[in-house]
Structure 1
Amino acid sequence: MKMFRGKKVLGAIAFAAALFSSTAIMSTALSSSAMAWTLEEAAQPYKGTSIKAIFLDRPGYAAAIKLLPEFEKKTGIKVNYEIVPYENSRERQVLDFTGGGEIDVVLTDVVWIGEFAGNGWLEPVKTFTDDAKLADPKLKLDGFFPILLESFGTWGDEVYGLPFDNYSGLLYYNKCTLQQAGFDKPPATWDELLNVYGPKLTDQANRKYAFALQSRRGETQSADSFMRVLWPFGGSLLDDKFKSNLNSKESQAGLKFRQDLMKIMPPGIVDYDHAEAVNALAQGNVAMITEWSAFYSTLADPTKSRITDCLAVATEPAGPAGLKPALGGFSLGVNAQSSDAKKAAAWLFIQWVTSEEMAKPYVEAGGVSGRTTIYKDADIQKRYPFVQPMVASWDGGVPDFRPRFAEWPELSEVIAEWGTRMMLGNVSIEDGAKSIGAKVEEVLGQAGYYKGDKPLRK
């Protein structure tokens, strides 16, 4: 009996040894395979292929353009790009999708993902990650900030794009101006910004203002202005049943606060887009702005900004509901209607430009990477003061800062129209909120959200 047990033990040991040896061989083979993968080899079948991307006139895209020659040299793939104003970029792509056009690299805003993925215009990332010839073993989807991959690249349970040009709302301020007014730090809350800092930093006679909130009619009004003041005050556009929440006590408090900000902002603020708000701070005409992290490189550029030595960055101010900063950004995905060769070439570009390997060159060229590792780099933290407040915002941000569903573009137009009327004083906050809410519910009702035809969240 003992001998039998001994034979069993020896047999088990032999089996484990064989299994270990087999596993080691497989592991070595896989490791060798992973080490053998190169961008150059993966791109060889697509050498000479031309693809087209949609870019914006923003620092992150200028950074990508600076890096493009390296990709083209390694792969032989030509990346053409069209620079489109943000306000026209969705329409430009939708026309391309419905007309069977030429765009291969799709730029998807956080609020377009439902429309683009829901209509089958985006190729699932799985198509490429399942292909060993195209998938870089070092891709690491879990290397992106979860809030970014979820918000900008994912619809349902499927990933359709990789985070590329991603933003947190930050407070940029002129520390010299604040110091001259007696402040040694930025406002911690929105209430402080308005009621403590605002009066001391506003000098209308000399056209100097405490703050500028970009509010031009369009997506800038609906997202960067209107939505920005809801969450910190505990409000929201919709409740958990997708009914309007704009006339709640909290939402009304946020919208009223925005109206009160008008007295410390420049005249004509409803015509300010991002460029105007950034320039107002850069030229010393306003002391503070809440803007996207991507604009740090513009404000830190001495050829574009007069306040480079005085520029400082913090998280957005907190409201009664706590720190609820704006969340924005884009992913890059592949057009599902492109040819197989162009799909592969587009994927290789997207995978490369958003990779961990390219994160540091991208940041140094003026972009904002969605990768976590790059922001642990002590050198990057020291050179780019926006990093720490941005990471703090992403770690505790607002995933549904704007609702991610296909109907958003239509709702955005409604919010932009009535939001502008509110700021101009052409309609009361209460009546404007009721008008927006009624139209929102009409649109969502027609889309089937209240009949159970569509899920409330994706």
Structure 2
Amino acid sequence: MQRVLKYALAGATSALVGLGASAPTAHAWTLAQAAAPYKGMTVTVVGLDRPSYKAAEKLTPEFEKETGIHVKWVNYPYENTLKAETLNFVSHSRQFDAILTDVVWPVDFTRAHWVVPVDHFLADKAIADPDIDIGDFFPVWRHAFTVGGKLIGLPFDSYAGLLYYNKKILKEHGFSGPPTTWTQLLNDYAAKLYDPSKNLYGYALQSARGETQTADSFTRFLWPWGGRYFDAKAKKMTLDSKAAIAGETFRQELVKYMPKGIIADDHSQVVQLMGQGQLAMITEWSAFYPTLKASSIGNDLGVTVEPKGPNGRYSAFGGFAYMVSAQVPAKEQNATWLFIQWLTSKAMAQPLIENGAVVARKSADTDPALDAKYPYLKPMVETWENGSVPDWRPQIACYPYFSELVSDYGSEIEAGKYPVAKGLKLLNAKLQHYMNSTGCWNSVNLPKR
């Protein structure tokens, strides 16, 4: 309850400071007053079966008690979320109020006019918290969810790719710390830490077919080598470039030192192997820190930024934002906005972190006390400020099939079915034809970097 009161009074405090007042007034904005017209309404929120949403759902009763607005969570596996939300819109079922978008989905929602831009709600002083402080969200996250110059959602469940390492294993093998470049990881660490007879491997890369292959495996070895998916202005795919070939060739060299069958492993399997002490290092999302810290290697767990490639540090970038459905009635939209605004607020950032969520609020992620308690925060912030691009994966209306092609060919290349150059040439041609034949080039969103 104290956290809700803190949030409710935050706007009042900032308003009073501007007026030179010393005590609350009847005109100061509070969550309870803003929510009064919507008391008794129910807001349905799309979520995932992941730590950030479990934390949010745990804290939701505080919002309900303060506002009288009921919140219904409907959670999906990631792979089913976009389909469920799309069906909701095309059927006009109005099943969902708070819409969840991955960083690669905003174009779909905005082109179809399915969601309401944030500025619509910020312009309504009755429901816009004066202390919302949009600028407190890291720039890369604001840019990631800006389409056509408009912010379309507020960031939530925000990830950075990080390098997790077992300090004990590294020390036992003569290393004083983790590698700082991918070349070091391959040439200096991987071979020395490779001992299958003892179930010990220097590094493993989650590469399961699907979005894990696209985002976590294939793309991770594209940007740091100077490769890019395409040249949007020229409407030309560039996955057959020398830089792209070099990056994916490096991945193949690294695979030699990984556990057999790694191309079938998803996040859970790789994190489990790390937690069991069979891996010296993995590159994984910041969201997995609590899981690894609670594992048997918790006391030996180290975390830092991902290694640099020949073209610099470009770390994996992924996460979500909450948007308001444009298909539900205006009153329902306002109630939904109040929940999203509360959930992603500065005041709720700390309790969310303490309950296992990852947030993109600079005020919380750089707080000295939280940094000391959660070591992943500093490298996460460093990554977002100096090693992330919002279009790590392309923001295009036709992304699902685009990603499917990348995943299919990326998996075949990693499995050795195609030599790297040949596989990339085939993939490049497939994607070029797809982008040309669907007119998808016209949907490309190029976020500010």
TM-score for the superposition, normalised by structure 1 = 0.89
Task: Map 1:218-237; keep pairs closer than 5 Å.
Answer: 218-237=210-229
Deviations 1:187-214 (A, max 9, x none): 1111111121111211112222111111
**2:3 — aligned with what?**
none
Question: Is the 2:371–2:378 Cα contact (8 Å) retained in structure 1?
Answer: yes
Change over 3 Å in CA distance of 1:456–1:126 after alignment to 2:
closer
Q: How far apart, in 1, do the equivalents of 2:335 and 2:54 lie?
A: 21
Measured in 1, the distance between the counterparts of 2:60 and 2:408 equals 39
CA–CA separation in structure 2 for the residues paired with 1:277 and 1:354:
30
Deviations 1:319-348 (A, max 9, x none): 101111111111111111122232112111
Structure 1 unpaired stretches of 5+:
1-23
Alignment match of 2:351 (pick from 348, 357, 361): 361
1:189 counterpart (181, 203, 207): 181
1:138 to 122, 131, 141: 131
Closer, same or farther: CA 167–243 of 1 in aligned 2, 3 Å: same
User: Which of residues 249, 254, 266 in structure 1 aligns to 2:242?
Assistant: 249
Question: 2:12 is matched with which residue?
Answer: none
Matches within 5 A, 1:27-426: 27=19, 36-101=28-93, 102-151=95-144, 153-240=145-232, 241-301=234-294, 305-396=295-386, 397-426=388-417
Deviation at 1:456, TM superposition (A): 6.5
Q: Tell me how far apart the structure 1 counterparts of residues 304 and 26 of structure 2 sit (CA, whole Å).
A: 41
Return the alpha-carbon distance in structure 2 between the equivalents of residues 456 and 51 of structure 1: 30
Gap change, CA 1:456 and 1:145, over 3 Å in 2: closer
Change (3 A) 1:426 1:455: closer
Secondary structure at the counterpart of residue 36 of structure 1: coil
CA distance in 1 between partners of 2:82 and 2:273 (Å): 27
Amino acid at match of 1:457: L
Counterpart mapping for 1:14-29 below 5 A: 27=19
Distance (whole Å) between structure 2 residues aligned to residue 433 and residue 381 of structure 1:
41
Shift of 1:314: 0.6
- CA offset digits 1:65-96 (Å, max 9, x no partner): 12111111111112111221112211121111
How far did residue 162 of structure 1 move? Answer: 0.3
State the SS of the aligned residue for 1:309: helix
SS of structure 1 residue aligned to 2:71: strand
For residue 434 of structure 2, what is the aligned residue in structure 1?
443
Question: Once the two structures are superposed, what CA deviation does each residue of 1:166-224 show, in whole Å capped at 9, x if it has no partner?
Answer: 11100011111111111110011111111211112111122221111111111111111
Distance 2:316 2:235 in 1: 20
The one-letter code matched in structure 1 to 2:384 is: W
Distance 1:292 1:111 in 2: 17
**Distance between the aligned counterparts of 1:313 and 1:34, measured in 2?**
48
Letter of the aligned partner of 1:415 in structure 2? Answer: V
In 2, Cα distance between equivalents of 1:84 and 1:455 = 27
Q: Partner letter of residue 114 of structure 1?
A: V
Q: What amino acid is aligned across from residue 166 of structure 1 in structure 2? A: S
Counterpart amino acid of 2:209? R
Rg larger for: 1
Q: Give the conservation status (yes or no) of the 8 Å contact 2:118–2:152.
A: yes
SS at match of 2:381: helix
CA deviation after TM superposition for structure 1 residue 149, in Å: 1.1
Using the alignment, how far apart are the partners of 1:308 and 1:449 within structure 2? 46
SS of 2:255's equivalent?
helix
Tell whether the 8 Å contact from 2:202 to 2:279 is kept in structure 1 after alignment: yes
> Following the alignment from structure 1 to structure 2, what is the Cα–Cα distance between the partners of residues 214 and 325?
15
Q: Distance in 2 between matches of 1:79 and 1:259?
A: 47
Q: Output the CA distance in 2 between the equivalents of 1:48 and 1:300.
A: 40
TM-score (norm 2): 0.91
Amino acid at match of 2:229: L
Q: Contact between 2:275 and 2:296, CA under 8 Å: does it hold in 1? A: yes
- Pairs aligned (count): 428
Give the match's secondary structure for 1:200: coil
3-state SS of paired residue (1:264): coil
Instruction: State the percentage of identical aligned residues.
Output: 45
Is the 2:274–2:282 contact (alpha carbons within 8 Å) kept by the matching residues of 1? Answer: yes
**Is there any run of 5+ residues in structure 2 with no aligned partner, and where?**
1-15
RMSD over aligned Cα atoms: 2.0
Specify whether residues 359 and 340 from structure 1 end up closer, same or farther in structure 2 by C-alpha distance, changes over 3 A only: same
Structure 1 CA distance, aligned partners of 2:45 and 2:88? Answer: 12
Structure 2 distance, partners of 1:127, 1:352, is 17
1:128-180 CA-to-partner distances (Å, cap 9, x unmatched) read 111111100101111110101111x2111111100111111000111111111
